[in-house]
Amino acid sequence: QVQLVESGGGLVQSGGSLRLSCAVSASFHSFNAMGWYRQAPGMERELVALFTFGGTTNYADSVKGRFTMSRDDAKNTIHLQMSSLKPEDTTVYYCYADRLLSCSGTSQFWGKGTQVTVSS
């Protein structure tokens, strides 16, 4: 079973920065896509940044220019560098990965989440 473990969340002032990390228990070569989602209470989980192994990284419009996703293949770790943080970025951030299934669809994996709180 694939495990994704996030770290790096915390409390930061508006305008500050945080770097989230996600350690993955499997080689990146086994995945189709990896990235970050976030979910506020009572809201649907929304995409923050998603890298597909076709070579593209997509960002939510709300974080473009402020958040940057990167990966360290040697350490099976992905990162989310968050800058110019706003109070509305406050929520739980989840690490995500998926694999293509031989028939159709994907098998999805989620971390347990890490809380980010931005104070005004």
At 6-24, the pLDDT tens digits run 999 999 999 999 999 999 9
Note the pLDDT tens digit of each residue in 33-79: 999 999 998 999 999 999 998 788 999 999 999 999 999 999 999 99
What are the C-alpha distances in Å from 91 to residues 32, 94, 103, 114? 26, 10, 35, 8
Instruction: Identify which has the larger pLDDT, 29 or 68.
Output: 68
Residue 107: count of CB within 10 angstroms of its CB: 12
| DSSP bridge pairs for 36 | 49, 95
Q: How far apart are CA 75 and CA 12, in angstroms?
A: 27
Instruction: Give me the pLDDT at residue 1, please.
Output: 86
With bands split at pLDDT 50, 70 and 90, how would you rate the model's confidence at 102? confident
